[in-house]
A and B are shown apart, each in its own frame.
Chain A
Amino acid sequence: MQRLLLLGDEAIAQGALDAGLSGIYAYPGTPSTEITEFVQHSKQAKQDNIHSTWSANEKTAMESALGMSYAGKRSMVCMKHVGLNVAADPFVNSAITGANGGLIIVAADDPSMHSSQNEQDSRFFGKFAMVPVLEPLNQQEAYDMVHYGFDFSERYKIPIMLRITTRLAHSRAGVKRRDSRKKNDLKLPEDLRQFVLLPAIARKRYRNLLKAQDLFEQESETSSFNQYIDGPDKSLGIIVCGIAYNYLLENYPDRHVPHPVLKIGQYPLPKKMIERLYEECKEILVLEDGYPIVEESLKGLLGKGLKIKGRLDGTVPRDGELNPNIVAVSLGMKDTYGLPVPSLMVGRPPSLCSGCPHIDSFKALNEVLKVLPKGRVFSDIGCYTLGALKPYEAINSCVDMGASITMAKGAADAGLVPSVAVIGDSTFTHSGMTGLLDAVNDKSPITIFILDNGTTAMTGGQDSAAFGKIEDICKGMGVEEGHIHVLRPLKKFHEENVKIINEELTYPGVSVIIPRRECIVTIDKRVREKFKKTEAAE
């Protein structure tokens, strides 16, 4: 079969389609978004009727995927690393219920936080839940691991985590496809109480999970994704996880590494292979694109025994992603460097697009708040987070999805009144609604801005679950109708908007202000699509 040029994300999606996927569930999140988008745009997926609409958040996505697995079909759920925090409850418990139809959880981590609030390592979550984790080294392996993962999941009736990082997710290389496999038929679990986690049942299932760990470890020992590549120079043994192997090979022309190398692509760790490395070598270097998880488990708390080099002893920087230069230095090689960046260089950070509705909203909010001491605007995750930068400098917090409303409430409880929350429409239905309910039930004196641009903009303009529903949700939650205002964030309505915001800031209860105008990038896309269709028709 011919080679396709695919992003790591796309290789996973194509792998799932070829492995008989019945449904993919996700909420947009960089660097995982493209997996679901690939399925959504795929002709193959359309013909096979693969479910691929966006979920309201990662928890509902995880649960829906689990439901499909319950029904005997193969499902996949995708998220970025912090998305796994949201999906943690069903994820951890899915290890105890186990799977029926194959179930793969794709966690796309973002070391160096290219577009995230932190760089947490999802392998930790896999270990925490005690499920096997697959970590591909390149696009081909990512494709192959999906097939393997689904088979493994059905053989052992366990969900599998597939963990990638940004540099693989958003990099293209050639991938050879395999023959497709049919989708599963509907088939309920043999034990109809498999998924009932009453304590009496859960205890039994948990003990099964504990027993299964040995089987998973044996699989890791014989898996083709874990390889012991011997080398003559035993002064150093090297453990490389996932894409770290590429950076190691990059530093040796002709790919001949003189030291023994243990390439890890499947967890739990293959203990016997590690033992062999430990016995034969004088020191061990651990290279992982994320937290020093393998490094720490080898080193232990006391660091006694063989010298283990990595992030914890400064051989590799403690934070940030790996790259070929960092690996070169860790091997004791000379670093390579081109020319220095001239001193006149300045940053070119992303900013709100010219004409963005959020600009008008921030201008109005800033004007109203200028008579009060600063520091009372709690915000959230989306394009509007860019409102923290100059020239607006309009927000004072951004922590996690939905935190704007609940932090504003907490601050108001502490006496910071008025407190303002700024949240997007998609973020609102993701995790803002429960916070709103808390605020309404407590009659909190907060003003909530739900910036409705009709889309999930920052990740590329995906459909927003909130579309057309925001006012009704607020009314349903108990926000008084007289304190819900839909504004038009445009220059010509600036004065009018400022007046309304001013009034609501003084109201000692929950106010919801909805500045509504379509994202200009989405408009552009829509118009282009329409133009294309008209052109095609002519």
Chain B
Amino acid sequence: MKRDIILAGVGGQGIISIAAIIGTAALEQGLFLKQSEVHGMSQRGGNVQSNLRISDKEIASDLIPCGKADLIISVEPLEALRYLPFLSSDGWVITSTKPYINIPEYPEMDKVMDEIRKLPHYIALDADEIAKEIGTLKAANIVILGAASPFLDMQYEKLEDAIRFIFRKKGEDVIHKNLQALKAGKDFTERQMNS
């Protein structure tokens, strides 16, 4: 079993939290893990990315080779496209459709969505909208994680346990909302796959 995952977004959008949840769940399942990240740019609106590698065998490189990523999980649509050279031929792209426009030359959104719709395997959802319905915009990243969960080859319950562990100091309400966000994302993907 192996999953090579590129996590992408803009600083402050919570991709490190996604990595922490998947990582905690992976360790609970006794899997090997390597997670590399870009530091420092997060507060300054730059693009951020993390290489998350999970395997039942020892992992060599901290970096995922180009063309070998099983998943690109992105909380921002333009950022999902930035790492396409890493995607394997049967890899999936899971992305939010809500743009983060902090640069003057951000391309037109319909052109960005055209590029996403060209992809062989993708799930695109407005994670912000779904998070708002649950009652917390902050959980948009967890909605994306939920949408990606069917592709992780990991036990869903272990992801829930990881959320309970990571948010343990934030109180029952926060944990509950995040678990709902995770499920909402998963439900979205299941509806897409069944249609």
On chain A, the residues within 8 Å of B65 by CB distance are 250, 323-325, 328, 336
Known: A336-B68, A337-B67, A342-B81. A350 touches B103 (CB 8 A): no
Q: Which chain A residues border B40 with CB–CB below 8 Å? A: 30, 115, 350, 458-460
B81 contacts across to A, CB distance below 8 A:
341-342, 344-345
Chain A residues lying within 8 Å of B59, measured Cβ to Cβ, are 173
List the B residue with the shortest CB-CB distance to A349: B46
Decide if A351 is an interface residue (CB 8 Å cutoff): yes
| A421 to B105 Cα, complex, angstroms | 31
With A and B bound together, what is the CA distance between A401 and B149 in angstroms?
46
- Chain A residue numbers with a CB within 8 Å of B78 are 345-346, 348
- In this complex, the interface size class of chain A, counting residues with CB under 8 Å from chain B, is 35 or more
Q: Is B187 on the interface with A (CB-CB < 8 A)?
A: no
- Among B102, B112, B115, the one with the most A-chain Cβ atoms within 10 Å of its Cβ is B115
Q: A325-B65, A350-B44 are in contact. List 6 more A-B contacts (CB 8 A).
A: A30-B40, A171-B51, A174-B32, A249-B60, A338-B67, A344-B81
The answer on a CB contact under 8 Å between A171 and B85 is no
Whether the Cβ atoms of A346 and B105 lie closer than 8 Å is yes
Q: Is A340 an interface residue (CB 8 A)?
A: yes
Q: Which residue of B lies closest to A248 (CB)?
A: B60
Interface string of A237-260 (1 = CB under 8 A from B): 000000101111110000100000
Q: Is A31 an interface residue (CB 8 A)?
A: yes
Contacts A247-B61, A344-B107 known; A5 to B36 CB distance under 8 Å? no
The reply to whether A335 and B66 contact each other, CB–CB distance below 8 Å, is yes
Can you list 24 pairs linking A and B with CB atoms under 8 Å apart?
A: A3-B27, A5-B33, A30-B40, A33-B39, A114-B38, A173-B62, A174-B32, A250-B60, A323-B63, A323-B65, A336-B67, A338-B88, A338-B91, A344-B107, A344-B115, A345-B78, A348-B47, A348-B78, A348-B102, A351-B44, A351-B102, A353-B43, A353-B44, A458-B40
Counting CB contacts under 8 A, is B14 at the interface? no
Q: Which residues of B contact A246 (CB under 8 A)?
A: 60-62
0/1 per residue, A159-202, Cβ < 8 Å to B?
00000000110111110000000000000000000000000000
**Residue A383 lies at the interface, judged by CB distance under 8 Å to chain B:** yes
B60 touches A348 (CB 8 A): no
Residues of B within 8 Å of A353, CB to CB, are 43-45
Q: How far is the CA of A351 from the CA of B84 in the complex (A)?
A: 24
- The reply to whether A167 and B36 contact each other, CB–CB distance below 8 Å, is yes
**Smallest distance from the beta carbon of B122 to chain A beta carbons, Å?**
11
Interface check B136, CB cutoff 8 A: no
In the complex, whether B185 has a CB less than 8 A from a CB of chain A is no
User: Does A521 make an interface contact (CB < 8 A)?
Assistant: yes
Cα distance A249–B40 in the bound complex, in angstroms: 30
Q: How far is the CB of B106 from chain A (nearest CB, A)?
A: 7
B103 to chain A, nearest CB (A): 6
Is A339 on the interface with B (CB-CB < 8 A)? yes
Q: A92 interface residue, CB < 8 Å from B?
A: no
Q: Which residues of B contact A459 (CB under 8 A)?
A: 40
B41 interfacial contact with A, CB 8 Å: yes
Interface string of A315-342 (1 = CB under 8 A from B): 0000000011100100000011111111
Query: Shortest beta-carbon distance, A148 to chain B, in Å?
Result: 22
Contact B36 A172 (CB under 8 A): yes
A266 to B184, CA, bound (A): 51
Query: Closest A-chain residue to B46, C-beta based?
Result: A350
Q: List the 5 closest pairs (A to B, CB-CB), nearest first.
A: A336-B67, A350-B46, A171-B36, A350-B44, A338-B87
Chain B residues lying within 8 Å of A171, measured Cβ to Cβ, are: 34-37, 51, 62
Contact, CB under 8 Å: A172 / B34? yes
> Per-residue CB proximity of A341-372 to B under 8 Å, as 1/0?
11011111111110000000000000000000
The answer to whether B66 and A325 have CB atoms under 8 Å apart is yes
The CA-CA distance from A255 to B88 in the complex, in Å, is 21
Q: Which residues of A contact B63 (CB under 8 A)?
A: 167, 247, 323-324
Is there a chain B Cβ closer than 8 Å to A386's Cβ? yes
Closest chain B residue, CB of each to CB of A255 = B60
The listed residue with most A CB atoms (<10 A of its CB), out of B32, B34, B41, B65, is B65
A339 B44 Cβ-Cβ under 8 A: no
A173 touches B33 (CB 8 A): yes
Q: How far is the CA of A352 from the CA of B46 in the complex (A)?
A: 10
Evaluate contact between A31 and B39: CB separation under 8 angstroms: yes
Chain A, residues 116-146, CB within 8 Å of chain B (1/0): the string is 0000000000000000000000000000000
Q: Do B85 and A338 touch (CB < 8 A)? A: yes
Give A521 to B45 CA distance when docked, in angstroms.
12
B10 at the interface (CB under 8 A from A): yes
B23: interface (CB < 8 Å): yes
Within 8 Å CB of A249, what residues of B? 60-61
* List of B residues within 8 angstroms of A336 by Cβ: 65-68
Task: Assess whether B191 is interfacial by the CB under 8 Å rule.
Answer: no
Residues of A within 8 A of B89 (CB): 338
CA distance A55 to B95 in the complex (A): 43
